[in-house]
Amino acid sequence: MQRIMTIAAATLIASPAFAATGPFFSLSNTDFVVTIGFLVFIGVLLYYKVPTLILGMLDKRAEGIRSELDEAKALREEAQALLASYERRQREVQEQSDRIIAHAKEEAVLAGEQAKADLEKSIARRLAAAEDQIASAQASAVKEVRDRAIAVAINAARDVVAKQMTAKDAAKTIDDAIAEVGQKLH
């Protein structure tokens, strides 16, 4: 309010009315009439409290701007908190995925080692089976060779005995064999 009065006084002092010639306080002096009109206008503005209304509107506008700034600040802080939360979640998810990958690698290594051990066991079993088959075939071959050797030896012995044995020796051998069988049965 004082500010307006100071502005009005400065306006009156600096007005060109003081530079005019003739009596200043005359209605024929336009500068005086303009000054009176201006003072009446200022008075009407002050009477209806226009400066207070303007200052109130400016204060209300400043308060609105202040509340918008506070709201923007709160939204910014909320956005920063949300961003920090998302970054923390992203780090947690990244750490979890790193752990999952490490675990998968460990399982792959263990599975590879297990497969290698299983393969070695399978190879060992197959080698043992092959060795068993070889031993069995070898035993079968040895038995076959032995049987064949026995058959050849029996045929050779029969031929030798048949050539050297007479009818009398044959009858005696048969009687001895019957007697031996009779003793073993009784």
Q: Evaluate whether 46 touches 4 at the Cβ level (below 8 Å).
A: yes
- pLDDT of 87 above 90: yes
Q: Is the pTM of this model over 0.85?
A: no
How high is the mean pLDDT of the chain? 85
Q: Evaluate whether 22 touches 4 at the Cβ level (below 8 Å).
A: no
More confident residue, 140 or 82: 82
Q: What is the pLDDT of residue 69?
A: 97
Q: Evaluate whether 31 touches 20 at the Cβ level (below 8 Å).
A: yes
More confident residue, 105 or 177: 105
pLDDT digits (tens, 9 = 90+) for 56-67: 999 999 999 999
